[in-house]
Structure formats: C-alpha cells, structure tokens
Amino acid sequence: MDEKTVEALYNIFAMSNLRPKDSGVDGVVIWVSTGDFEGKRSKHGPRIKVILGTKTSVDLLNSAPSVTLTSSPAILNGTLPPDIKKHVFVFIKLNLDVLLRYWNGDIGTKEMVDQIKAIK
C-alpha cells in the first residue's frame, strides 16, 4: 500500500460517518473525526468532511470538502452545491457543541451519535 492509501485508511478509522437519516442532510455522508486522531493542532483545526452521495470510499473521502466546526462554518477546500452547503451549515450550528466535544475527546463516538440532532 502506498503512503496516501495508508493515511486515508487511518483517517477512515479515526472518523465516524453520519448518514442522511442521522444528520437530516439529504444526499451526503458527513464524516466526523476526533482531534486525537487528526491532531488538535492540525493546520485546519476542528472540521468535518462532506461526501456527496450515499457511498463512501478512500477516494471519496480524500476528495471530500472539509467544513470548519465554527459558529460561522466555512468550506476549507472544494465546493458543495448551494442547498447542501446551507443544510450542512445548519447541521453544524445545531450540533456545534456536541461536535466540538467529540473533537476534543470529551465524549466518545456513541455519546456523540446519541446527542446529534438531525436538521428538519
């Protein structure tokens, strides 16, 4: 396996995916990572990845746009269709506290998933 594939696989194991029924955002899989794996001092800080569609793979994860976990979310790389961008931003704002506690390692994956609120 090449270094890029190993890194991508490492990232997959360090992340949890939220399907549309969990997030309320149709047409995407949202990947949430913990800062412990990403490195809390990483250059981009707390963020999620947004994969368009309903399938996941190493390639889709590598090319997925990252969105900051901030009160005013921003896309770090890539683009999202306007309607999906709007819904992802609403999802982040609704769940910011939970997502940041997960990023900071204050709660585990089950707690994060149990506390996530889907948008309407």
Burial class (CB in 10 A: 0-12, 13-18, 19+), 90: middle
Q: Of 34, 42, 43, whose CA–CA distance to 99 is shortest?
A: 34
pLDDT interval class at 113 (50, 70, 90): very high
The residue ranges of every structural domain in the chain are 3-115
Query: Model confidence over 51-107: pLDDT tens digits?
Result: 999 888 778 888 899 999 999 999 999 999 999 999 999 999 999 999 999 998 898
Which 3 state secondary structure label does DSSP give 3?
A: helix
Helix/strand/coil percentages in the chain, nearest 5:
45, 15, 40
How much is the pTM?
0.83
β-pair type (66-68, 47-52): antiparallel
